[in-house]
Amino acid sequence: MSEVDEIVGEFLVESYENLDQFDDDLLVLERDPGDLEVIGSIFRTIHTVKGTSGFFGFDHLESLAHVAENLLGRVRDGELAVNESITSALLATGDTIRRMLAVIERTGEEGDEDVSELVALLAALVEPAETPSVDDPVSMNEPDLSDGEPDPGAGEPTPVEDGPRIGELLVARGTADVEDVELAAREQEFGDERRLGEILVGQMEDEVEEALGQQQRESQRGLSDTKIRVDVGLLDELMNLVGELVLARNQIVQLVGDEQDSQFAGASQRLNLITTELQEGVMKTRMQPIGNVWNKLPRVVRDLSLNCGKQVDLHMVGQETELDKTIIEAIKDPLTHLVRNAVDHGIEDPETRAAAGKAEAGKLVLRAFHEGGQVNIEIADDGGGIDAAAIRAKAVDKGVITPEQAAKLGEREALHLIFAPGFSTAEQVTNVSGRGVGMDVVRTNIERIGGTVDVVTELGVGTTFKVKIPLTLAIVPALVIATAGNRYAIPQLSLIELVRLEGESAREGIELVHGAPVHRLRGRLLPIVDLAEELGSGSTIDRDVINIVVLHADGQHFGLIVDEIHDTQEIVVKPLGSHLKDASLFAGATIMGDGNVALILDVLGTAQRARVVAEGRERAVVEDESAEALADSERRTLLLVGLGDDRRAAIALSEVERLEEFSQDAVEWAGGREVVQYRDDILSLLRLATVLGIGGGFAEPDEPLNVVVHGSHGRSVGLVVGQILDIVEQEVTLSGEDARPGLLGSAVVQGRVTDVLDVDALVAANDPAGTSGSYAGAF
């Protein structure tokens, strides 16, 4: 703003806000043309613009607003029915006014935007109303918002049979006007059996309701008088200061721990509380409902769907979900992008939808909610879904990956290709599916603020993009732990639980599966990462007490062994200097209560470094196995088991419920089958080596049985194996048509071709619950 004085500035700010509301209102009106309140609000916006611009001498603006007001006046008075062309013209008016305002903001003058065409269009739309197209004007319930509150006793029915008629009486007393009475009389004619007075009371009630609505609106306006506008820069500064204050508070609180002075302790206690409240307060000032970003989207969806000749119903759930201003700014573009893509590529045109047996209008649902200290935003469409095969082909075509790499990608990884740089173009992948205008930018923007974006899709059913973002960036709750004499902070967002193993369980709780440590947490295998080892200070695993911090990263759980677990506290995140940029294990640093610096652990980075989670696409692509994998293949996490005589097999980890050991004494016989008592139930055992016809696989009598518990259809079966060897992530070549029953496929694991078992099929073929003779004969 150059020379524009304060009043014009206020006019601009107010008009921008009103125009946002104006757009929303128009879209509401399009859906529900009879909503008088909304018409009133639209009318007021344009009226204000007209009045104020006339006052400042912005003639073009005034003339445009004037003709729009005329049109709206007709609509308000019920002389014109809202239709698509009216809405479009009014939306265009809003856009033009915005542009003109922007020029005023920049230059202080009106500029030379040519409005004549739009004015002509609006004027033309006003015309048809000259010939009354709607019924008798009298039949319209006059919504005069400027009307005062009607006298509540006015409609009292007066039972008079002779003398003047009730209608005349009321008109004479001024409590009802001729039109009201005429309307009521007409309703009687149309079969309303109530008496005239009662009908009038009914009308009055409507008016009272309307007046109440007006009263409410006005009291809301009163509320807005208690608000002021604050410069965001000032809020940022306050936030920084509060961050410093939190650090100082932490230090003081720590000092008090060593002091005996009770007065000092009391004062610091107060300081502590006040700081916390102040911090919350300042954070709140920066919080905004996500609706502020979303309110532009109905317009985007409307325009785009009209352009593409599609019908889209936009539903928004959780507009009130709040998040930090800076984050709101940061997600604005990515969200708009995702929504545009959903309309453009996700939702099919009405004919296609009808042919697929769907409703012609596509459904686009935006959902926001808080979960685990994060804000979750979902953009779900019920369109055609994304075809992973098409994405693969496209990626190869674009040279993003080689055909060999493409063949090796799993479904999920293939889908994630849409986020790969270089993949995106405005072109569609196919006519049913296709995403990817700048999806890499979307992901980069979301990840920059510590968020993640994921995509779930089903062909023909729809696609959901799931975005997770932190509430705020500056101050985060964190768990403080210590390893090898240093303290580290772990953001609580990644934290799932803490596990402490002592004595016996500490010595036996960590098992090695082919060198990779795991812990059985409630029967599930939890990969273990020794923080000390990752930090290069040597393993500390064999001790009497083991503290495991269970974390999640990239959808994967893992346990981090640390020396000590301290407390949780609010930490102020400070970035690391340029010399530590490549320290992938750390996300930043913070100052602890004692004034020392502690590093903030980057949970995802740690997991990647420890190879608990794959490093995205790169890792899958780098993996260079044999080139024969042109058949359909997928990466799976496999449990490698030994079957005696050096033979091994693999079971997809997703099929494994638990790993157990049973003493051979525990094995009982029931119905000719081996069973064990397990968790208050009877678990049937299936000796894998026998089932596969390998023979052997029987443990020495005093050795425990290694059992892989597999659950299916609500029933568990224990597969007895020789040894549990390893867990690997591996490409699985799925069996073709020549598949042997019970085999899902094969994989090259540690240089050996290994069968991947189809446990479900195996169990079914050798159903211990059935009366299968082959099974009984095996023993």
Partner 1 sequence: MTTPTAKQFCTFQLAHLTFGIEVDRVQEVIRTLPMTVVPLANDVVRGLINLRGQIVTALDLRRRLSLEPRADDEQPMNIVVRTSTGELSLLVDAIGDVVDVDEATFEGPPETLDGVARELIVGAYKLEGKLLLVLDTDRAVQLPAMA
Binding site for partner 1 (CB under 8 A): 244, 247, 484, 486-487, 535-537, 574, 576-580, 583, 585-586, 589-591, 595-599
Least CB distance to partner 1 at residue 614 (A):
21
Q: Cα Rg for the chain, rounded, in angstroms?
A: 35
Host H or E run for residue 289? strand 287-289
Least CB distance to partner 1 at residue 488 (A):
9
**Residue 479 or 650 having the CB closest to partner 1:** 479
Least CB distance to partner 1 at residue 282 (A):
18
Least CB distance to partner 1 at residue 535 (A):
4
**Residue 153 or 577 having the CB closest to partner 1:** 577
Instruction: Please list, residue by residue across 368-393, b when 16 or more beta carbons sit within 10 angstroms of its beta carbon and e when fewer do.
Output: beeeeebbbbbbbbbbbbbbbbbbbb
Sole residue written with tokens 């889908």: 415
**Residue 418 or 599 having the CB closest to partner 1:** 599
**Residue 248 or 506 having the CB closest to partner 1:** 248
d(CA 590, CA 588): 7
Host H or E run for residue 243? helix 232-258
d(CA 311, CA 348): 9
SS (H, E, C) 387-407: CHHHHHHHHHHCCCCCHHHHH
DSSP state of 574: B
Contact 517, 560 (CB under 8 A): no
**Residue 196 or 589 having the CB closest to partner 1:** 589
- Calculate the CA 183 to chain-centre distance: 51
**Residue 491 or 768 having the CB closest to partner 1:** 491
What is the dihedral angle through the alpha carbons of 529, 532, 534, 535, rounded to the nearest 10 degrees?
Answer: 150
Least CB distance to partner 1 at residue 602 (A):
12
Least CB distance to partner 1 at residue 599 (A):
6
Q: Which is nearest to 93 in space by CA: 51, 141, 61, 134? A: 61
Q: Token pair of 297, please?
A: 């989207």
Phi-psi region of 704 (alpha: psi -120 to 50; beta: other; left: phi over 0): beta
Least CB distance to partner 1 at residue 610 (A):
13
Write the single-letter amino acid at 706.
N
Least CB distance to partner 1 at residue 533 (A):
11
For residue 603, give the 3-state DSSP assignment.
helix
**Residue 252 or 331 having the CB closest to partner 1:** 252
**Residue 244 or 427 having the CB closest to partner 1:** 244
Least CB distance to partner 1 at residue 574 (A):
5
Least CB distance to partner 1 at residue 486 (A):
6
**Residue 266 or 575 having the CB closest to partner 1:** 575
**Residue 372 or 595 having the CB closest to partner 1:** 595
Residues contacting 55, CB < 8 A, separation 6+: none
d(CA 712, CA 243): 52
Q: What are phi and psi of 541, to 5 degrees?
A: -65, -40
Contact 123, 67 (CB under 8 A): yes
